Amino acid sequence: MLFKDVIGQQDVKSHLVRMVGQNRLSHALLMLGPEGAGVLPMALALAQYMTCERVRERIPGAQAHKVEAPSLFGPSPDPNAASSGELPGDACGICPSCQKAGQLIHPDIHFSYPVIPKKAGDKPVSGDYASAWRDFIRQTPYGNAYDWLQSIGAENKQGNITAQECGDIIRKLNLKSFESPFKILVLWMPEYLGNEGNKLLKIIEEPPAGTLFILVAEQETLILPTVLSRTQLIKVPPLSVAEITEGLVDRAGLDSPKARLIASISEGNFREALLQLQHAEDDWQSLLREWLNAVLKNGPVAQVKWVEAVSKLGREKQKQFLRYFNHLLEMAIRLDCMEGMAAQLPEAEKDFALRLNKIAGREQQEAILQLLDEAAYFIERNANAKMLFHALSLKLYHIIANKSLILTN
Protein backbone atom coordinates (compact mmCIF):
# COMPACT_ATOMS: atom_id res chain seq x y z
CA MET A 1 0.00 0.00 0.00
CA LEU A 2 1.24 3.48 -0.88
CA PHE A 3 0.87 6.62 1.22
CA LYS A 4 -1.29 8.04 -1.57
CA ASP A 5 -3.73 5.14 -1.02
CA VAL A 6 -4.27 6.23 2.60
CA ILE A 7 -7.15 8.69 2.91
CA GLY A 8 -6.07 12.12 4.21
CA GLN A 9 -3.58 12.26 7.12
CA GLN A 10 -1.09 14.34 5.13
CA ASP A 11 0.63 15.66 8.27
CA VAL A 12 1.27 12.13 9.57
CA LYS A 13 2.62 10.99 6.19
CA SER A 14 5.00 13.96 5.98
CA HIS A 15 6.11 13.41 9.58
CA LEU A 16 6.97 9.76 8.91
CA VAL A 17 8.93 10.61 5.74
CA ARG A 18 10.90 13.28 7.63
CA MET A 19 11.68 10.85 10.46
CA VAL A 20 12.99 8.27 7.98
CA GLY A 21 15.06 10.86 6.12
CA GLN A 22 16.57 12.30 9.31
CA ASN A 23 17.25 8.82 10.74
CA ARG A 24 14.99 9.52 13.74
CA LEU A 25 12.71 6.52 13.32
CA SER A 26 12.73 4.31 16.40
CA HIS A 27 13.09 0.54 15.98
CA ALA A 28 9.69 0.17 17.73
CA LEU A 29 6.78 2.41 16.73
CA LEU A 30 3.31 2.51 18.22
CA MET A 31 0.91 3.96 15.65
CA LEU A 32 -2.16 4.91 17.66
CA GLY A 33 -5.46 6.21 16.33
CA PRO A 34 -9.22 5.70 16.57
CA GLU A 35 -11.18 3.20 14.52
CA GLY A 36 -11.56 4.21 10.89
CA ALA A 37 -8.72 6.77 10.94
CA GLY A 38 -6.53 4.61 8.68
CA VAL A 39 -3.86 3.51 11.15
CA LEU A 40 -3.42 0.04 9.63
CA PRO A 41 -3.22 1.37 6.03
CA MET A 42 -0.68 3.93 7.27
CA ALA A 43 1.44 1.17 8.84
CA LEU A 44 1.29 -0.90 5.64
CA ALA A 45 2.30 2.15 3.60
CA LEU A 46 5.26 2.80 5.92
CA ALA A 47 6.39 -0.83 5.65
CA GLN A 48 6.26 -0.64 1.84
CA TYR A 49 8.06 2.72 1.91
CA MET A 50 10.92 1.30 3.99
CA THR A 51 11.40 -1.67 1.64
CA CYS A 52 10.95 0.21 -1.66
CA GLU A 53 14.16 -0.13 -3.69
CA ARG A 54 14.05 3.48 -4.89
CA VAL A 55 13.57 4.83 -1.38
CA ARG A 56 15.97 2.67 0.57
CA GLU A 57 18.96 3.74 -1.53
CA ARG A 58 18.52 7.19 0.00
CA ILE A 59 17.85 6.02 3.56
CA PRO A 60 20.96 6.58 5.72
CA GLY A 61 22.75 3.26 6.28
CA ALA A 62 20.45 1.21 4.06
CA GLN A 63 22.65 1.23 0.95
CA ALA A 64 24.98 -1.41 2.43
CA HIS A 65 22.33 -4.05 1.74
CA LYS A 66 21.90 -3.08 -1.91
CA VAL A 67 21.15 -6.10 -4.12
CA GLU A 68 23.14 -5.95 -7.34
CA ALA A 69 21.77 -9.04 -9.12
CA PRO A 70 18.90 -8.54 -11.57
CA SER A 71 15.49 -9.35 -10.15
CA LEU A 72 13.35 -12.23 -11.37
CA PHE A 73 10.14 -10.50 -10.30
CA GLY A 74 10.15 -7.39 -12.46
CA PRO A 75 12.20 -4.53 -13.88
CA SER A 76 15.22 -3.27 -11.99
CA PRO A 77 14.81 0.14 -10.36
CA ASP A 78 15.76 3.15 -12.45
CA PRO A 79 19.38 4.05 -11.52
CA ASN A 80 18.63 7.72 -12.14
CA ALA A 81 16.17 7.61 -9.20
CA ALA A 82 18.79 6.36 -6.78
CA SER A 83 20.82 9.54 -6.49
CA SER A 84 21.41 10.93 -3.03
CA GLY A 85 19.22 13.74 -1.76
CA GLU A 86 15.83 14.31 -0.24
CA LEU A 87 13.68 11.21 0.18
CA PRO A 88 10.69 10.85 -2.13
CA GLY A 89 7.34 11.37 -0.47
CA ASP A 90 6.10 7.87 -1.33
CA ALA A 91 7.22 4.43 -2.44
CA CYS A 92 7.52 4.02 -6.19
CA GLY A 93 4.91 1.26 -6.40
CA ILE A 94 6.62 -0.40 -9.39
CA CYS A 95 9.90 -1.92 -8.17
CA PRO A 96 9.89 -5.66 -7.30
CA SER A 97 9.87 -4.92 -3.57
CA CYS A 98 6.82 -2.65 -3.92
CA GLN A 99 5.04 -5.23 -6.05
CA LYS A 100 5.49 -7.87 -3.35
CA ALA A 101 4.72 -5.50 -0.47
CA GLY A 102 1.55 -4.37 -2.25
CA GLN A 103 0.41 -7.99 -2.46
CA LEU A 104 1.39 -8.59 1.21
CA ILE A 105 3.91 -11.28 0.22
CA HIS A 106 7.20 -9.47 0.82
CA PRO A 107 9.51 -11.95 2.63
CA ASP A 108 10.84 -9.26 5.00
CA ILE A 109 7.45 -7.83 6.05
CA HIS A 110 5.78 -10.00 8.68
CA PHE A 111 2.29 -9.64 10.15
CA SER A 112 0.81 -10.52 13.50
CA TYR A 113 -2.86 -10.17 14.46
CA PRO A 114 -5.53 -11.73 16.69
CA VAL A 115 -6.57 -15.25 15.68
CA ILE A 116 -8.83 -18.03 16.93
CA PRO A 117 -8.27 -21.80 17.19
CA LYS A 118 -9.71 -23.68 14.22
CA LYS A 119 -10.63 -26.57 16.48
CA ALA A 120 -10.43 -27.40 20.18
CA GLY A 121 -6.87 -27.73 21.41
CA ASP A 122 -5.34 -25.78 18.51
CA LYS A 123 -2.52 -23.33 19.22
CA PRO A 124 -2.95 -20.96 16.27
CA VAL A 125 -0.46 -18.45 14.91
CA SER A 126 -1.03 -15.64 12.43
CA GLY A 127 0.54 -17.60 9.59
CA ASP A 128 -2.37 -20.05 9.73
CA TYR A 129 -4.62 -17.25 8.46
CA ALA A 130 -2.23 -15.57 5.99
CA SER A 131 -4.50 -16.01 2.97
CA ALA A 132 -7.57 -14.72 4.86
CA TRP A 133 -5.50 -11.75 6.11
CA ARG A 134 -4.50 -10.76 2.57
CA ASP A 135 -8.15 -10.94 1.46
CA PHE A 136 -9.24 -8.86 4.45
CA ILE A 137 -6.71 -6.10 3.71
CA ARG A 138 -7.66 -5.99 0.04
CA GLN A 139 -11.38 -5.79 0.77
CA THR A 140 -11.62 -3.87 4.07
CA PRO A 141 -8.37 -2.03 4.88
CA TYR A 142 -10.34 0.27 7.21
CA GLY A 143 -12.02 -2.64 9.02
CA ASN A 144 -11.75 -3.19 12.76
CA ALA A 145 -10.96 -6.25 14.87
CA TYR A 146 -14.61 -7.30 14.89
CA ASP A 147 -14.71 -7.29 11.07
CA TRP A 148 -11.52 -9.36 10.93
CA LEU A 149 -12.64 -11.95 13.47
CA GLN A 150 -16.03 -12.35 11.77
CA SER A 151 -14.29 -12.80 8.42
CA ILE A 152 -12.45 -15.87 9.80
CA GLY A 153 -15.59 -17.31 11.39
CA ALA A 154 -14.99 -16.31 15.00
CA GLU A 155 -18.68 -15.65 15.73
CA ASN A 156 -18.64 -15.40 19.55
CA LYS A 157 -15.07 -16.66 20.02
CA GLN A 158 -12.49 -14.34 21.55
CA GLY A 159 -9.49 -13.53 19.36
CA ASN A 160 -6.01 -13.54 20.88
CA ILE A 161 -2.36 -13.00 20.04
CA THR A 162 -1.09 -16.14 21.72
CA ALA A 163 2.12 -17.20 23.44
CA GLN A 164 2.80 -19.44 20.41
CA GLU A 165 2.47 -16.38 18.18
CA CYS A 166 4.99 -14.47 20.34
CA GLY A 167 7.43 -17.36 19.96
CA ASP A 168 6.87 -17.36 16.19
CA ILE A 169 7.55 -13.60 16.05
CA ILE A 170 10.86 -14.05 17.86
CA ARG A 171 11.84 -16.90 15.53
CA LYS A 172 11.05 -14.95 12.35
CA LEU A 173 12.79 -11.76 13.44
CA ASN A 174 15.98 -13.62 14.33
CA LEU A 175 16.28 -14.85 10.75
CA LYS A 176 18.45 -12.95 8.30
CA SER A 177 16.50 -10.61 6.01
CA PHE A 178 16.02 -11.92 2.47
CA GLU A 179 15.95 -8.85 0.22
CA SER A 180 15.66 -5.67 2.21
CA PRO A 181 17.97 -4.00 4.75
CA PHE A 182 15.01 -4.19 7.15
CA LYS A 183 12.94 -6.89 8.75
CA ILE A 184 9.55 -5.36 9.57
CA LEU A 185 6.84 -6.68 11.87
CA VAL A 186 3.39 -5.09 11.62
CA LEU A 187 1.63 -6.13 14.84
CA TRP A 188 -2.05 -5.22 14.55
CA MET A 189 -4.08 -4.84 17.72
CA PRO A 190 -1.50 -5.23 20.54
CA GLU A 191 -4.55 -4.77 22.80
CA TYR A 192 -5.07 -8.52 22.27
CA LEU A 193 -1.68 -9.33 23.79
CA GLY A 194 -2.11 -10.69 27.31
CA ASN A 195 0.75 -11.26 29.73
CA GLU A 196 2.29 -13.57 27.15
CA GLY A 197 3.28 -10.33 25.40
CA ASN A 198 6.08 -9.98 27.95
CA LYS A 199 7.90 -12.66 25.95
CA LEU A 200 8.51 -9.96 23.32
CA LEU A 201 10.06 -7.41 25.66
CA LYS A 202 13.67 -8.46 25.12
CA ILE A 203 13.48 -8.50 21.33
CA ILE A 204 11.61 -5.14 21.30
CA GLU A 205 14.24 -3.58 23.57
CA GLU A 206 17.27 -5.22 21.93
CA PRO A 207 16.18 -6.21 18.41
CA PRO A 208 18.44 -7.77 15.76
CA ALA A 209 20.05 -5.20 13.45
CA GLY A 210 17.67 -3.67 10.92
CA THR A 211 14.49 -4.74 12.72
CA LEU A 212 11.46 -2.44 12.77
CA PHE A 213 8.39 -3.08 14.93
CA ILE A 214 5.20 -1.26 13.91
CA LEU A 215 2.47 -1.74 16.50
CA VAL A 216 -0.97 -0.63 15.28
CA ALA A 217 -3.47 0.14 18.04
CA GLU A 218 -6.74 1.92 18.81
CA GLN A 219 -6.83 1.95 22.64
CA GLU A 220 -3.63 2.85 24.47
CA THR A 221 -5.01 1.86 27.88
CA LEU A 222 -5.43 -1.80 26.82
CA ILE A 223 -1.78 -2.26 25.80
CA LEU A 224 0.62 -3.90 28.25
CA PRO A 225 2.51 -1.05 30.00
CA THR A 226 5.76 -2.98 29.61
CA VAL A 227 5.28 -3.02 25.82
CA LEU A 228 3.98 0.55 25.67
CA SER A 229 7.02 1.98 27.45
CA ARG A 230 9.36 0.54 24.82
CA THR A 231 7.77 2.21 21.80
CA GLN A 232 7.85 5.57 20.05
CA LEU A 233 4.33 6.97 19.82
CA ILE A 234 2.93 8.19 16.47
CA LYS A 235 -0.61 9.56 16.88
CA VAL A 236 -3.01 9.34 13.96
CA PRO A 237 -6.00 11.70 14.43
CA PRO A 238 -9.58 11.06 13.28
CA LEU A 239 -10.24 11.99 9.68
CA SER A 240 -11.77 15.37 8.94
CA VAL A 241 -15.16 15.74 7.24
CA ALA A 242 -13.38 17.04 4.13
CA GLU A 243 -11.03 14.01 4.02
CA ILE A 244 -13.89 11.50 4.34
CA THR A 245 -15.91 13.42 1.76
CA GLU A 246 -13.01 13.28 -0.69
CA GLY A 247 -12.51 9.58 0.04
CA LEU A 248 -16.17 8.79 -0.65
CA VAL A 249 -16.19 10.83 -3.86
CA ASP A 250 -12.98 9.22 -5.16
CA ARG A 251 -13.58 5.63 -4.03
CA ALA A 252 -17.34 5.23 -4.00
CA GLY A 253 -18.25 7.63 -6.81
CA LEU A 254 -20.69 9.60 -4.65
CA ASP A 255 -21.71 13.13 -5.52
CA SER A 256 -20.29 15.74 -3.15
CA PRO A 257 -23.50 16.69 -1.25
CA LYS A 258 -24.33 13.07 -0.35
CA ALA A 259 -20.68 12.31 0.47
CA ARG A 260 -20.50 15.34 2.76
CA LEU A 261 -23.71 14.32 4.56
CA ILE A 262 -22.35 10.83 5.23
CA ALA A 263 -18.98 12.26 6.26
CA SER A 264 -20.57 14.66 8.74
CA ILE A 265 -22.36 11.78 10.48
CA SER A 266 -19.32 9.47 10.54
CA GLU A 267 -17.35 11.29 13.27
CA GLY A 268 -13.95 10.92 11.59
CA ASN A 269 -14.40 7.17 11.03
CA PHE A 270 -14.10 6.01 7.40
CA ARG A 271 -15.29 2.51 8.31
CA GLU A 272 -18.45 4.08 9.68
CA ALA A 273 -18.80 6.16 6.51
CA LEU A 274 -18.74 2.98 4.42
CA LEU A 275 -21.40 1.43 6.65
CA GLN A 276 -23.48 4.58 6.25
CA LEU A 277 -23.06 4.25 2.50
CA GLN A 278 -24.69 0.81 2.60
CA HIS A 279 -27.78 2.46 4.09
CA ALA A 280 -27.60 5.69 2.09
CA GLU A 281 -31.00 5.05 0.51
CA ASP A 282 -32.72 4.61 3.88
CA ASP A 283 -34.97 7.52 4.76
CA TRP A 284 -33.85 8.16 8.33
CA GLN A 285 -35.51 11.56 8.38
CA SER A 286 -38.97 10.12 7.73
CA LEU A 287 -38.38 7.43 10.36
CA LEU A 288 -37.33 10.09 12.87
CA ARG A 289 -40.35 12.27 12.03
CA GLU A 290 -42.63 9.26 12.64
CA TRP A 291 -40.99 8.60 15.99
CA LEU A 292 -41.25 12.16 17.26
CA ASN A 293 -44.89 12.37 16.15
CA ALA A 294 -45.66 9.07 17.88
CA VAL A 295 -43.93 10.20 21.09
CA LEU A 296 -45.29 13.74 21.26
CA LYS A 297 -48.63 13.67 19.45
CA ASN A 298 -50.07 10.32 18.36
CA GLY A 299 -49.91 8.38 21.62
CA PRO A 300 -49.05 4.84 22.84
CA VAL A 301 -50.58 2.89 19.93
CA ALA A 302 -48.45 4.77 17.40
CA GLN A 303 -45.39 4.31 19.64
CA VAL A 304 -45.90 0.53 19.83
CA LYS A 305 -46.32 0.33 16.07
CA TRP A 306 -43.15 2.39 15.49
CA VAL A 307 -41.11 0.31 17.97
CA GLU A 308 -42.28 -2.90 16.28
CA ALA A 309 -41.07 -1.56 12.93
CA VAL A 310 -37.69 -0.29 14.12
CA SER A 311 -36.95 -3.46 16.11
CA LYS A 312 -37.01 -5.41 12.82
CA LEU A 313 -34.36 -3.26 11.15
CA GLY A 314 -31.38 -5.11 12.58
CA ARG A 315 -28.62 -3.88 14.84
CA GLU A 316 -26.52 -2.02 12.27
CA LYS A 317 -29.46 -0.06 10.87
CA GLN A 318 -30.66 0.80 14.38
CA LYS A 319 -27.23 2.24 15.17
CA GLN A 320 -27.21 4.19 11.90
CA PHE A 321 -30.62 5.66 12.73
CA LEU A 322 -29.52 6.74 16.21
CA ARG A 323 -26.37 8.24 14.76
CA TYR A 324 -28.44 10.23 12.26
CA PHE A 325 -30.65 11.61 15.07
CA ASN A 326 -27.46 12.46 16.96
CA HIS A 327 -26.13 14.31 13.91
CA LEU A 328 -29.33 16.37 13.51
CA LEU A 329 -29.26 17.36 17.19
CA GLU A 330 -25.66 18.51 16.85
CA MET A 331 -26.67 20.55 13.80
CA ALA A 332 -29.56 22.05 15.78
CA ILE A 333 -27.22 23.12 18.58
CA ARG A 334 -24.78 24.65 16.08
CA LEU A 335 -27.58 26.53 14.34
CA ASP A 336 -28.59 27.96 17.68
CA CYS A 337 -25.16 29.23 18.65
CA MET A 338 -23.12 29.72 15.44
CA GLU A 339 -23.86 32.48 12.95
CA GLY A 340 -23.68 31.51 9.30
CA MET A 341 -24.19 27.82 10.05
CA ALA A 342 -27.53 27.70 8.19
CA ALA A 343 -25.85 28.38 4.84
CA GLN A 344 -23.71 25.23 5.19
CA LEU A 345 -26.61 22.78 5.66
CA PRO A 346 -28.82 21.10 3.05
CA GLU A 347 -32.29 22.64 3.08
CA ALA A 348 -34.09 19.53 4.38
CA GLU A 349 -31.63 19.09 7.26
CA LYS A 350 -31.72 22.77 8.14
CA ASP A 351 -35.53 22.73 8.31
CA PHE A 352 -35.55 19.66 10.56
CA ALA A 353 -32.82 21.07 12.82
CA LEU A 354 -34.78 24.33 13.23
CA ARG A 355 -37.87 22.33 14.23
CA LEU A 356 -35.80 20.46 16.82
CA ASN A 357 -34.76 23.81 18.28
CA LYS A 358 -38.43 24.72 18.66
CA ILE A 359 -39.44 21.58 20.57
CA ALA A 360 -36.34 21.23 22.80
CA GLY A 361 -33.97 23.65 24.46
CA ARG A 362 -30.21 23.26 24.77
CA GLU A 363 -30.34 21.26 28.01
CA GLN A 364 -33.00 18.94 26.60
CA GLN A 365 -30.98 18.39 23.41
CA GLU A 366 -27.84 17.56 25.38
CA ALA A 367 -29.82 15.09 27.50
CA ILE A 368 -31.18 13.41 24.36
CA LEU A 369 -27.67 13.17 22.93
CA GLN A 370 -26.59 11.34 26.07
CA LEU A 371 -29.58 8.99 25.74
CA LEU A 372 -28.75 8.19 22.12
CA ASP A 373 -25.11 7.43 22.94
CA GLU A 374 -26.19 5.07 25.73
CA ALA A 375 -28.72 3.38 23.43
CA ALA A 376 -26.09 2.79 20.72
CA TYR A 377 -23.80 1.29 23.39
CA PHE A 378 -26.54 -1.14 24.50
CA ILE A 379 -27.40 -2.09 20.91
CA GLU A 380 -23.77 -3.07 20.29
CA ARG A 381 -24.10 -5.39 23.30
CA ASN A 382 -27.21 -7.10 21.94
CA ALA A 383 -29.84 -5.38 24.07
CA ASN A 384 -33.44 -6.33 23.34
CA ALA A 385 -34.45 -3.80 20.67
CA LYS A 386 -38.15 -3.61 21.63
CA MET A 387 -37.42 -2.98 25.30
CA LEU A 388 -34.69 -0.49 24.48
CA PHE A 389 -36.75 1.62 22.06
CA HIS A 390 -39.83 1.53 24.32
CA ALA A 391 -37.72 2.85 27.18
CA LEU A 392 -36.09 5.39 24.89
CA SER A 393 -39.51 6.64 23.74
CA LEU A 394 -40.69 7.16 27.32
CA LYS A 395 -37.54 9.01 28.31
CA LEU A 396 -37.71 11.13 25.17
CA TYR A 397 -41.30 12.11 25.99
CA HIS A 398 -40.42 13.16 29.54
CA ILE A 399 -37.40 15.17 28.41
CA ILE A 400 -39.27 17.08 25.68
CA ALA A 401 -42.85 17.28 26.94
CA ASN A 402 -42.18 17.61 30.66
CA LYS A 403 -38.76 19.28 30.40
CA SER A 404 -37.47 16.65 32.83
CA LEU A 405 -33.84 15.52 32.85
CA ILE A 406 -34.07 13.15 35.82
CA LEU A 407 -34.71 10.03 33.72
CA THR A 408 -31.44 10.36 31.81
CA ASN A 409 -29.37 9.26 34.77
Integer Cα distance of 175 and 256 in angstroms: 50
Mean pLDDT across the stretch 146-173? 88
Sign of the four-CA dihedral 353, 357, 363, 364: negative
Residue 329 · residue 320 · CB < 8 Å = no
Long-range contacts of 298-306 (CB under 8 A, 24+ apart): 303/390, 303/393, 304/390, 306/389, 306/393
Helix (H, G, I), strand (E, B) or coil at 376: helix
Instruction: Tally DSSP H helices, then E strands, for the chain.
Output: 18, 5
- Under the banding of pLDDT at 50, 70 and 90, the label for residue 82 is very low
Domain containing 67 equals 3-237
Considering the domain architecture, whether residues 14 and 127 belong to the same structural domain is answered as yes
Mean pLDDT across the stretch 183-202? 90
Considering the domain architecture, whether residues 21 and 161 belong to the same structural domain is answered as yes
Q: How confident is the model over 27-62, as pLDDT tens digits?
A: 899 999 999 999 999 999 999 999 998 888 777 656
CATH assignment at residue 25: 3.40.50.300
Listed range (137-141, 146-150, 220-224, 325-329) with the worst mean pLDDT: 325-329
Sheet holding 183-188, edge to edge: 109-112, 183-188, 211-217, 28-32, 232-235
Mean pLDDT across the stretch 324-341? 74
- Under the banding of pLDDT at 50, 70 and 90, the label for residue 402 is low
Q: How confident is the model over 67-78, as pLDDT tens digits?
A: 433 333 344 444
Considering the domain architecture, whether residues 114 and 218 belong to the same structural domain is answered as yes
Considering the domain architecture, whether residues 135 and 264 belong to the same structural domain is answered as no
pTM strictly above 0.85: no
264 or 212, greater pLDDT: 212
Q: What is the crossing angle of helices 300-311 and 284-293, to 10°? A: 150
**Confidence (pLDDT) at 108:** 92
Q: How many CA atoms lie within 13 A of 94 on its CB side?
A: 6
CA distances 206 to 112, 164, 187, 227, 347, Å, are 19, 20, 17, 13, 60
Q: How far apart are the first and last CA of the chain?
A: 46
Considering the domain architecture, whether residues 155 and 20 belong to the same structural domain is answered as yes
Picking from 180, 205, 237, the residue at the C-terminal end of a domain is: 237
57 or 211, greater pLDDT: 211
What average pLDDT is seen over the chain? 83
Considering the domain architecture, whether residues 35 and 128 belong to the same structural domain is answered as yes
Query: Cβ neighbours of residue 296 under 8 Å, at least 6 residues apart?
Result: 359, 397, 400, 401
**Confidence (pLDDT) at 79:** 41
Number of structural domains, the chain? 3
Considering the domain architecture, whether residues 286 and 180 belong to the same structural domain is answered as no
Nearest to 376 by CA among 318, 328, 327, 331: 318
DSSP annotation of 160: B
Considering the domain architecture, whether residues 137 and 256 belong to the same structural domain is answered as no
Considering the domain architecture, whether residues 57 and 71 belong to the same structural domain is answered as yes
Considering the domain architecture, whether residues 247 and 306 belong to the same structural domain is answered as no
Q: What is the crossing angle of helices 347-359 and 284-293, to 10°? A: 20
Q: How confident is the model over 229-238, as pLDDT tens digits?
A: 899 999 999 9
Considering the domain architecture, whether residues 194 and 52 belong to the same structural domain is answered as yes
Nearest to 42 by CA among 162, 173, 216: 216
